[in-house]
Amino acid sequence: MTRRSPAAEDEPSRRRDRAETVRDEAVERACSQLRANGAISAEQRAAVEELADRLLERLSPVALALRR
């Protein structure tokens, strides 16, 4: 049985953390652009966040598969 190094075991966690950071930054940029055109409602912000979450969930497995 081959054991993975601690660094290799932490890699998926680091990738997920980085993906979440990118998502959060993208949400902030989108909301900032919406605010530049007027006020953004709580519902609009929630819609942007939900879209970002769904994209992250769908793209994360693809990114992992490409790295194998």
Q: Domain containing 39: what range?
A: 24-68
Rounded to whole angstroms, how far apart are CA atoms 66 and 63? Answer: 5
Q: Letter for the amino acid at 52? A: A
Rounded to two decimals, what is the model's pTM?
Answer: 0.71
Q: Which two tokens stand for residue 56?
A: 């992250």
Rounded to 10 deg, the angle between the 42-67 and 6-36 helix axes is: 150
Task: Please give the tally of structural domains in the chain.
Answer: 1
**Quick check: is 38 in a domain?**
yes
Please check whether residue 16 is in contact with residue 60, taking contact to mean a CB–CB distance below 8 angstroms: yes
Please check whether residue 53 is in contact with residue 23, taking contact to mean a CB–CB distance below 8 angstroms: yes
**Quick check: is 14 in a domain?**
no
Please check whether residue 40 is in contact with residue 34, taking contact to mean a CB–CB distance below 8 angstroms: yes
pLDDT tens string, the chain, 68 residues long: the values are 566 666 667 888 888 898 899 999 999 999 999 999 999 999 999 999 999 999 988 888 777 676 66
**Quick check: is 5 in a domain?**
no
**Quick check: is 33 in a domain?**
yes
**Quick check: is 4 in a domain?**
no
**Quick check: is 52 in a domain?**
yes
**Quick check: is 2 in a domain?**
no
